[in-house]
Structure 1
């Protein structure tokens, strides 16, 4: 933070406000919800939350305008402004706490992160006002105010129940896995041994595994590993469709099953990334085998949890069984090829 350029009478309530909003933000990030004893109305929650977010956005605008040009607000006006902002921040955090875990942990994380983003934006804005010259509206202050507005506007696009929240997670994971697969396929298409056109095939094999290209044994191992990555993409895509078509938030058990699906599905993309990274030359076949086993284990768990959940109606069983077999087939092939190269 740069030197304090506000007069002491004005900076004291702003500093107190900054500390207060930071404490509220920290509680939102770490705190527990007030578990309802029945009677929770999700639509009422969203209506009330939307009003609280709108109020926070308006308070941020008032704060920014008050310190956009001379004269400074009087100490009394600044005190009233700080109290008004604190009131809106407390209201926003209180409404967030209304959302019980029984409505879904995935949904709750989304609302928590959205609420924390608004509070982070306000903290940054107050901090900038405290540390900026007041002769004119700084670009930093404009950007920070816009950041609060953007965080508030995002609430209109948040998923409204746990089914929608879980679907968002699955679609995000699908995109990451698809990107990793495309990068690997592109690398495979572009990469070749620079000496492949001047050496006989037996000489190429004897050259072994070089640092900058895939050997023949590497290329053979790429096949089943890409098969596991493709199975990952297919699994996420099919699961997304099943959650969209069959997901239900009518009971606590169904909501919890959706959370379980989101939690295990989130393990797929980092496992795909680990496998993809180990495939680049120079390839360590032991590392590839280990990462292939880990990815296969995650996929088997996803399929097992899917099969046991309410989203897996009879029509979904065929793809679950098919992918289960595809994972086994590609893993066995990858292990055999990797061990042959040890």
Structure 2
């Protein structure tokens, strides 16, 4: 850091403030909530949290404006600015700690990440104020101040209970899976043997599996693998609909079941990606089978957990059983084609 923006009298409270906010940020990253035996009011939590976020945004703006042009704040004013931000940051972190895990780990994780982002933004703002010349409002300081505003603004859009939080993460997983399916379909549509128009048919047959295109045997194996990928997308879609229609946050048990569904479904998208990557030429059949087995195992586990949860009503058993059968069918087809090729 340069000393351009900091005569010793003003820089000391700012440096102390920087250390304080960094400490609070690190504690929020790793800290646990204060589980209390008393009643917890979720609506009151959100109202208080939004007030704390608004106050933090306002204090950060005041600090930025105070150091946006000469003359420097007096040492006494510098102390006051630092104390005001300390209070707002402490209030924000304290309200975050009110939120117990029993309200939902998925929602709590989102609130924690949003809180940390605000604190990161304030750390960056103070750091820039300390390190840039005090001539006019620098672009870095302007950008950093906007970053704090943006981090604070996102609280309005956070899911307000664990049902909404789980639906949000499932939607993100679903988007990744759909992208993987689309990319694989596009690759298939564009792929062809670059030598197919210059070689005789019998020569093509003897070329086997080349590094740049799929053989006919490869394409046959891809079909059930894509079936597993589509079953993954269908599972996320159907489960999301069931959670939206039947999900409850009226008891710790039901909230925990929603968290379990969020935790297990996060394994879908990386497993779909692994399977998709193993399908590109040159195709290693044993690797394809291994990834297909892994994805099928995850889907079967999700369907079992869904079946046993409160979101699965009698009418939902049909799609659960259908997808369970589809997973088995496609996996058996993969195994048969791999064994037949060896």
Q: How does 1:1-342 map to 2 (within 5 A)?
A: 2-5=1-4, 6-342=6-342
Aligned length: 341
Output the aligned Cα RMSD: 1.0
Deviates more, 1:191-200 or 1:164-173: 191-200
3-state SS, counterpart of residue 196 of structure 2: coil
Using structure 1 for the length normalisation, give the TM-score.
0.98
| 1:203-254 CA-partner distances (Å, limit 9, x unpaired) | 3232122111111111111101100000000000000000000000001110
Using structure 2 for the length normalisation, give the TM-score.
0.98
Q: Distance in 2 between the 1:109 and 1:22 partners? A: 19
Q: Distance in 2 between the 1:339 and 1:43 partners? A: 58
Deviation of 1:287 (Å): 1.0
Q: Distance in 1 between the 2:67 and 2:185 partners? A: 54
3-state SS, counterpart of residue 286 of structure 1: helix
Contact persistence 1:33–1:100 (CA under 8 A): yes
Deviation of 1:9 (Å): 1.4
Q: Which runs of 5+ in 2 are unaligned?
A: none
Deviation of 1:200 (Å): 4.1
Q: Distance in 1 between the 2:238 and 2:91 partners? A: 40
Q: Distance in 1 between the 2:233 and 2:338 partners? A: 23
Deviates more, 1:33-42 or 1:189-198: 189-198
Q: Distance in 2 between the 1:259 and 1:234 partners? A: 20
Deviation of 1:80 (Å): 1.0
Q: Distance in 2 between the 1:174 and 1:256 partners? A: 21
Q: Distance in 1 between the 2:285 and 2:173 partners? A: 26
Q: Distance in 2 between the 1:180 and 1:311 partners? A: 27
| 1:92-113 CA-partner distances (Å, limit 9, x unpaired) | 0000000000000001001000
Q: Which runs of 5+ in 1 are unaligned?
A: none
| 1:149-183 CA-partner distances (Å, limit 9, x unpaired) | 01100000000000000000111110110011000
Q: Distance in 1 between the 2:275 and 2:223 partners? A: 13
Deviates more, 1:3-12 or 1:257-266: 3-12
Q: 1:65 to 1:302 in 2, by over 3 A?
A: same
| 1:280-310 CA-partner distances (Å, limit 9, x unpaired) | 1111111111111111111001101000000
Q: Distance in 2 between the 1:88 and 1:141 partners? A: 20
3-state SS, counterpart of residue 210 of structure 2: coil
